[in-house]
Structure 1
Amino acid sequence: MGHHLAQLNIGRTLAPVDSDLLIGFTTMLDVVNDRAERSDGFVWRLQDDGIGNATSLRWPDDDTINVNMSTWTAVEALHAFVYGDREHRAVMRRRREWFEKLAIFQCLWWVPEGHRPTLMEAQQRLTALEADGPTPYAFTFTTAFPAPDGPATDVRSFPDACPA
């Protein structure tokens, strides 16, 4: 069985999601999500089926955290979308208008093809990344590990192409 790359990114909002402060963010969600779904390598994304995004879903133990989670065929595919898609980059450039700066806000890990990661699973991976730094269990673009069934290659680094 093959593997897909799971990605999590979180943000603690500066105001409620339905506030005027976050309108610039929320109005872009459908556009960015649509672009992600049409990107090469996209497999799945977490969403509340009633609204088509994940803004109503709660992070375990902290309801001020907004969560985005998806799966992709490869690190390269996700990286190409995150840092190459102009609409996504435009939202990323403005994230300090809507979200607090967090020390760690993104986590990557490999899952078996077809697996849909849960919020609890994502929280465990993010906690491990915070405690242990990048490992094959949880990593970042800066230190990316190959899939368990992939070629035995060295740890790879994908530079961020968007300012923090």
Structure 2
Amino acid sequence: MTGHHLAQLNVGTLKFPLDDSRADGFTSMLDPLNEVADNAPGFIWRLVEDGGTDATAIRTSLGDDVLVNLSVWESRDALWDYVYRSGHLDMLRRRAEWFEPPKAPFQVMWWIPAGHIPTVEEAVERLELLREQGPMPCAFGFRDSYQPADADSALWRPVAATART
């Protein structure tokens, strides 16, 4: 085990309520894809609602129609392999069927100390930071190649107290 893991949040604004038949293609894939993630090499943890198998009922300050997916991975490569080299890619390609086109970044990653489980509030804060200030070592996307060593000790503290200027 290394001293750090990669946290990621991605969000999407639904076009339809989850119980609408037009969302069936998405909802029918949730359990199978969550199982693929849970068994993927490098997977550490994912957010689920109390007593549930997914996080579709969790709401944030981003809005009542915004779904969140929060997870932790051993490495960027492990997350990449799940997102782009598994059945998840098929769902990603169909994203426009169920979600509004994003008007701002919808995914953020950041390094955390191994063993830390990020909160939804922490994750939303990172996404908002990325949206406001662009990529940086404590809030970035797949196109960015930040490593834990790129950030100073502010990386491990709450964003609001350290990274906003």
Give the TM-score range, shorter chain. Answer: 0.7 to 0.9
Shift of 1:64: 0.7
Match of 1:57, SS? coil
Query: Is 1:99 matched with 2:108?
Result: no
Name the amino acid aligned to 1:46.
L
Shift of 1:47: 0.4
Query: Is 1:24 matched with 2:30?
Result: no
- Cα deviation, 1:65-104, whole Å, max 9, x if unaligned, reads 000010000001101110111x201111111010011131
Q: Determine if contact 2:137/2:150 at 8 Å carries over to the other structure.
A: no
Query: Is 1:4 matched with 2:5?
Result: yes
Which residue number in structure 1 is paired with residue 158 of structure 2? none
Structure 1 stretches lacking a partner, 5+ long: 151-164
Q: Determine if contact 1:3/1:149 at 8 Å carries over to the other structure.
A: no
- Cα deviation, 1:30-61, whole Å, max 9, x if unaligned, reads 10000011111100000013221000111225
TM alignment of 1:13-162, pairs within 5 A: 13-85=14-86, 87-102=87-102, 103-148=104-149
Aligned residues: 149
Q: Determine if contact 1:11/1:67 at 8 Å carries over to the other structure.
A: yes
TM-score w.r.t. structure 2 length?
0.86
* Partners of 1:24 and 1:138 in 2: CA distance: 31
Name the amino acid aligned to 2:39.
R
Higher helix share: 2
> Which stretch shifts more, 35-44 or 15-24?
15-24
Q: Determine if contact 2:43/2:73 at 8 Å carries over to the other structure.
A: yes
Runs of 4+ in 1 over 4 A off after TM superposition: none
* Partners of 1:47 and 1:124 in 2: CA distance: 19
TM-score w.r.t. structure 1 length?
0.86
For the aligned residue pairs, the C-alpha RMSD in angstroms reads 1.6
> Which stretch shifts more, 4-13 or 43-52?
43-52
Name the amino acid aligned to 1:2.
G
Shift of 1:149: 9.0
* Partners of 2:112 and 2:55 in 1: CA distance: 20
